[in-house]
């Protein structure tokens, strides 16, 4: 039997070397198989030729059944591939490469996301305001999730004191603008995403034009003035806003989207907190992993918002207390007299 199998392999590879069509090579191997099977069935037991080719027809029948099963499976696959719509085929002009499909297979396996949701993620354009504590995990997980275009705006540079919680940055990049440090980390993590770094502070003069390029905005800043500015222009552009905030051991996250019936940030916080009531992380301190928890929650809300999976935190605020391991959700209402979204 080994001799016959070796001969079949020789026919296959010799034909390939001589550029013989696959169909012809398969026919030659089939003829060889039928000849051997015929010898096993016709020649008497003990015949030298029969013994040299296995000595039993049973083994060859099993080989034939297995080969027929493999061939049938291959034909079914070819038939199914032929039924795939051209716009869904991987190839020239397709929206995702094989490598991207493999990378995002766990998302595609989720019934709530699937191939359609992953395609939406690839086509999405998301702006992240702030590349610090909250921005770090947001950017990392959006890039890992395959969000196609990610903008990040921040005017700060990486400092040594940032590294306790801003895990997208590295010690070797101290002194580098945060947006470029984040861009490098995201590109190293997922080369299939496009990162747009804006090394400057968000100002009223540039906000409208900047926001117009994006479908979703995530605000992870710790600057009160910037928070209200982000909310104002997100409302004007009818863009959903995912906002997070942290302080010491606690954090909160919500989706503000008045264009779709929810409140805006100013509905919930009409005025900034009085001086001293909301100290910065530098003044009051912050637990290192806390931005990771809240930033990851923000990334989850972004993925749900883009892929239309589940129910987002629109009209609700999730509050997390790390010190006591407590999580609670409160309902938020839209204000009819809100100066921003009414």
pLDDT band for position 80 (50/70/90)?
A: low
pLDDT digits 0-9 by tens, 162-212: 999 999 999 999 999 999 999 999 999 999 999 999 999 999 999 999 999
Q: Are residues 141 and 271 both part of a single domain?
A: yes
3-state secondary structure the chain: CHHHHHHHHHHHHHHHHCCCCHHHHHHHHHHHHHHHHHHHHHCCCCCHHHHHCCCCHHHHHHHHHHHHHHHHHHHHHHHHHHHCCHHHCCCCCCCCCHHHHHHCHHHHHCCCCHHHHHHHHHHCEEEEECCCCCHHHHHHHHHHHCCCEEEEECCCECCHHHHHCCCCCCHHHCCCEHHHHHHHHHHHHCCCCEEEEECCCCCHHHHHHHHCCCCEEEECCCCHHHHHHHHHHHHHCCCCEEEEEEEECEEEEEEECHHHCCCCHHHHCCCCCCCCCCCCHHHHCECCCHHHHHHHHHHHHHHHHHHCCCCCCECEEEEEECCCCEEEEEECCCCCCCCCCC
Q: Are residues 157 and 243 both part of a single domain?
A: yes
pLDDT digits 0-9 by tens, 268-283: 999 887 766 666 677 7
Domain membership flag for residue 90: no
In this prediction, residue 49 carries a pLDDT of 72
Q: Are residues 168 and 278 both part of a single domain?
A: yes
Q: Are residues 78 and 131 both part of a single domain?
A: no
Domain extent, residue 287, equals: 124-331
297: left (phi over 0), alpha (psi -120 to 50) or beta: alpha
Q: Are residues 175 and 77 both part of a single domain?
A: no
Q: Does 148 or 18 have the greater pLDDT score?
A: 148
Q: Are residues 77 and 130 both part of a single domain?
A: no
Q: Are residues 153 and 25 both part of a single domain?
A: no
pLDDT digits 0-9 by tens, 131-161: 999 999 999 999 999 999 999 999 999 999 9
Percent above pLDDT 70 for the chain:
91
Contact 266, 236 (CB under 8 A): no
Domain membership flag for residue 103: no
Domain membership flag for residue 89: no
Domain membership flag for residue 296: yes
Domain membership flag for residue 116: no
Which residues does residue 318 pair with via DSSP β-bridges, in sequence order?
253, 329
Rounded-to-integer distance, Cα 248 and Cα 246, Å: 7
In this prediction, residue 89 carries a pLDDT of 44
Let me know if 18 is exposed, middle or buried by CB neighbors in 10 A (0-12, 13-18, 19+): exposed
Rounded-to-integer distance, Cα 254 and Cα 220, Å: 12
Q: Are residues 159 and 76 both part of a single domain?
A: no
Domain boundary pick from 52, 83, 114:
83
Domain boundary pick from 83, 116, 134:
83
Q: Are residues 311 and 207 both part of a single domain?
A: yes
Rounded-to-integer distance, Cα 278 and Cα 13, Å: 75
Q: Over 80: is that where the pLDDT of 319 sits?
A: yes
pLDDT digits 0-9 by tens, 238-265: 999 999 999 999 999 999 999 999 999 9
In this prediction, residue 329 carries a pLDDT of 95
Which long-range CB contacts under 8 A does 46-54 form with residues at least 24 apart? Answer: 52/3, 53/1, 53/3, 53/4, 54/1, 54/4
The enclosing domain of 228 has a CATH number of: 3.40.50.720
Q: Are residues 70 and 167 both part of a single domain?
A: no
**How many domains are there within the chain?**
2
Q: Are residues 22 and 77 both part of a single domain?
A: yes
pLDDT digits 0-9 by tens, 32-75: 778 777 777 777 777 777 677 677 777 777 777 888 888 777 77
pLDDT band for position 85 (50/70/90)?
A: very low
Angle 44-47-49 from CA coordinates, rounded to 5°? 120
pTM reported for the whole predicted model? 0.71
Domain membership flag for residue 101: no
Q: Over 50: is that where the pLDDT of 98 sits?
A: yes
In this prediction, residue 93 carries a pLDDT of 41
Angle 323-321-170 from CA coordinates, rounded to 5°? 80
Q: Are residues 78 and 164 both part of a single domain?
A: no
Taking each helix axis from N to C end, the angle separating 135-145 and 178-189, rounded to the nearest 10 degrees, works out to 30
Domain membership flag for residue 339: no
Domain membership flag for residue 336: no
Domain boundary pick from 83, 113, 144:
83
């Amino acid at each position: 039997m080994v001799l016959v199998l070796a001969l079949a392999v020789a026919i296959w590879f010799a034909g390939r070397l001589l550029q013989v069509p696959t169909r012809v090579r398969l026919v030659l191997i089939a003829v060889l198989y039928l000849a051997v099977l015929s010898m096993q069935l016709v020649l008497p037991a003990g015949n030298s030729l029969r013994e040299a080719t296995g000595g039993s027809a049973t083994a060859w029948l099993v080989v034939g059944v297995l080969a027929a099963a493999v061939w049938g499976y291959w034909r079914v696959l070819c038939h199914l591939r032929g039924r795939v719509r051209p716009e869904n085929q991987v190839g020239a002009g397709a929206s995702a490469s094989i490598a991207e499909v493999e990378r995002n297979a766990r998302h595609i396996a989720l019934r709530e996301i699937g191939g359609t949701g992953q395609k939406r993620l690839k086509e999405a354009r998301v702006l992240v305001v702030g590349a610090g504590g909250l921005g770090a995990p947001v950017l990392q997980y959006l890039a890992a999730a395959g969000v196609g275009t990610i903008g990040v705006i921040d005017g700060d540079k990486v400092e040594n004191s940032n590294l306790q919680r801003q895990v997208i940055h590295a010690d070797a990049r101290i002194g580098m603008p945060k947006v470029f440090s984040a861009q490098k980390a995201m590109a190293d993590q997922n080369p299939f995403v496009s990162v747009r770094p804006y090394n400057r502070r968000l100002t009223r003069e540039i906000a409208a034009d900047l926001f117009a390029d994006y479908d979703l905005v995530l605000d992870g800043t710790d600057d009160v003035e910037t928070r209200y500015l982000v909310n104002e222009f997100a409302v004007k552009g009818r863009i959903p806003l995912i906002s997070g905030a942290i302080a010491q051991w606690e954090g909160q996250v919500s989706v503000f989207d008045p264009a779709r019936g929810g409140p805006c940030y100013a509905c919930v916080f009409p005025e900034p907190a009085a001086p001293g009531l909301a100290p910065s992380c530098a003044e009051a301190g912050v637990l290192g992993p806390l931005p990771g928890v809240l930033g990851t929650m923000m990334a989850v809300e972004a993925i749900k918002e883009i892929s239309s999976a589940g129910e987002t935190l629109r009209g609700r605020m999730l509050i997390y207390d790390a010190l006591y391991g407590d999580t609670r959700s409160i309902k938020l209402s839209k204000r009819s007299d809100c100066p921003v979204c009414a």
